């Protein structure tokens, strides 16, 4: 464990992308977790006397058209974005890992069927599929997270399938087969644990995609109205872009920062997991 921590510490000092991403993530987590402490106002409270006001005392980022405090909404919106991003990407990782692992390890007819199934999902425009499902079943945040997760798994499945095809030829897998260990046991004890690292890096990047998808749904009015969302804030301010650009610009900047954060972490993990990427740069 000490050697692993030491190696990761050296990588942090060397890998500027991973280091920058983790610093930004720490700031976002502090803001999201500490929202009840740091928020200066109730994010849903309306202040009629100071609607569409720029930053003033007590209202750091100003107020929107309904007089709601933008700073407080940003903090609570961070909770929403991080929750949706992490849970949706985790669902994608679990589903993709299982399907890809089965396809790559079992091979044959099973592999061919699963590959065709993956290709169908890849060819289907996922955002429009999400729009249809959310329009039918509602915009509750739970549905949004599940739908995003269940439409973004093919990339993880392809990565895990490639890992499984390579790993099933290794000596330790052949040895386990020779002594009669079941296929499922080999897959869960040897194939998935040894092939999971690219999935971790890809899943980190998928958090960015999930956050952008939720922001897009909220911008179109298909987000959960019972929560604070950066997409909703951007949509609410689009009418006032010339008069009060901060209403849309501030949450837009935070969406970009959050997406960039997870992209940096994912790219940094890729370089940590696959040093050849750094050497070939």
- The reported pLDDT for the residue numbered 280 is 42
Per residue in 32-66, is it b (16+ CB within 10 Å) or e — as a string?
beebeeebebebeeebeeeebbeeeeebebbbbee
Domain that holds residue 111: 78-279
Mean pLDDT, to the nearest integer, of 17-43?
A: 90
Task: DSSP for the chain, please give it.
Answer: -HHHHHHHHHHHHH-HHHHHHHHHHHHHHHHHHTHHHH-SS-TT---GGGTT--SBTTBTT-B-TT--BHHHHHHHHHHHHHHHHHHHHHHHHHHHHHHHHHHHHH-HHHHHHHHHHHHHHHHS-HHHHHHHHHHHH---HHHHHHHHHHTS-HHHHHHHHHHHHHHTTSHHHHHHHHTT--HHHHIIIIIHHHH-HHHHHHHHHHHHHHHHHHHHHHHTT-S-TTS--HHHHHHHHGGGTTT-THHHHHHHHHHHHHHHHHHHHHHHHHHHH-HHHHHT-
Specify if 242 maps to a domain.
yes
- The reported pLDDT for the residue numbered 274 is 67
Q: What is the mean pLDDT of the chain?
A: 85
Burial of 96 (0-12, 13-18, 19+ CB in 10 A): buried
Confidence of residue 56 (pLDDT cuts 50, 70, 90): confident
- The reported pLDDT for the residue numbered 281 is 45
Mean pLDDT, to the nearest integer, of 110-139?
A: 84
Find the CATH number of the domain harbouring 117. 1.10.3720.10
pTM of the model: 0.86
Which residue in this structure is represented by tokens 């933008």? Answer: 70
Mean pLDDT, to the nearest integer, of 114-142?
A: 83
Confidence of residue 4 (pLDDT cuts 50, 70, 90): low
Specify if 168 maps to a domain.
yes
Specify if 7 maps to a domain.
no
- The reported pLDDT for the residue numbered 126 is 79
Is residue 72 scored above 60 in pLDDT? yes
Mean pLDDT, to the nearest integer, of 173-179?
A: 87
Cα-Cα-Cα-Cα dihedral sign, residues 234, 236, 241, 243: negative
Mean pLDDT, to the nearest integer, of 233-244?
A: 86
Specify if 97 maps to a domain.
yes
- Count up the domains in the chain and report the number: 1
84 contact partners, CB below 8 Å, separation of at least 6: 141, 144, 145, 148, 210, 211, 214
Confidence of residue 267 (pLDDT cuts 50, 70, 90): confident
Neighbours of 90 (CB within 10 A): 16
Better-predicted residue by pLDDT, 140 or 229: 229
Is residue 262 scored above 60 in pLDDT? yes
- The reported pLDDT for the residue numbered 15 is 78
- Write out pLDDT tens, residues 203-238: 998 999 999 988 988 888 888 888 889 999 998 888
Question: Percentage of the chain with pLDDT > 70?
Answer: 92
Confidence of residue 137 (pLDDT cuts 50, 70, 90): confident
Specify if 49 maps to a domain.
no
- The reported pLDDT for the residue numbered 5 is 57
- The reported pLDDT for the residue numbered 29 is 94
CA dist 229 → 73, 79, 80, 117, 220 (Å): 8, 9, 6, 33, 12
Q: Measured between alpha carbons, how far is 155 from 201 in angstroms, rounded to an integer?
A: 12
Specify if 34 maps to a domain.
no
């Amino acid at each position: 464990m000490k050697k692993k921590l030491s190696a990761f510490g050296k990588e942090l000092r060397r890998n500027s992308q991973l280091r920058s991403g983790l610093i930004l993530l720490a700031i976002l987590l502090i803001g999201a977790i500490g929202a009840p402490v740091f928020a200066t106002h109730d994010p849903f409270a309306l202040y009629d006397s100071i609607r569409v006001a720029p930053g003033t005392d007590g209202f750091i980022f100003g107020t929107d058209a309904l007089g709601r405090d933008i700073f407080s909404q940003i903090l609570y919106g961070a909770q929403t974005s991080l929750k949706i991003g992490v849970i949706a990407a985790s669902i994608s990782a679990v589903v993709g890992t299982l399907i890809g692992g089965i396809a790559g390890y079992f091979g044959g007819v099973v592999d061919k069927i699963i590959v065709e199934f993956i290709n169908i999902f890849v060819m289907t425009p996922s955002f429009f599929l999400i729009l249809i499902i959310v329009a039918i079943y509602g915009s509750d945040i739970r549905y949004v997270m599940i739908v995003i997760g269940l439409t973004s798994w093919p990339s993880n499945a392809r990565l895990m399938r490639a890992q499984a095809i390579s790993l099933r030829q290794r000596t330790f897998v052949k040895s386990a087969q020779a002594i009669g260990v079941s296929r499922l046991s080999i897959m869960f004890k040897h194939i998935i644990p040894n092939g999971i690292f690219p999935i971790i890096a890809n899943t980190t990047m998928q958090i960015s995609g999930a956050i952008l998808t939720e922001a897009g749904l909220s911008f179109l009015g298909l987000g959960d109205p019972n929560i604070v969302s950066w997409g909703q804030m951007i949509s609410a301010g689009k009418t006032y872009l010339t008069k009060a650009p901060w209403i849309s610009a501030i949450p837009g900047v935070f969406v970009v920062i959050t997406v960039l954060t997870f992209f940096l972490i994912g790219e940094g993990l890729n370089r940590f997991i696959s040093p050849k990427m750094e050497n070939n740069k």
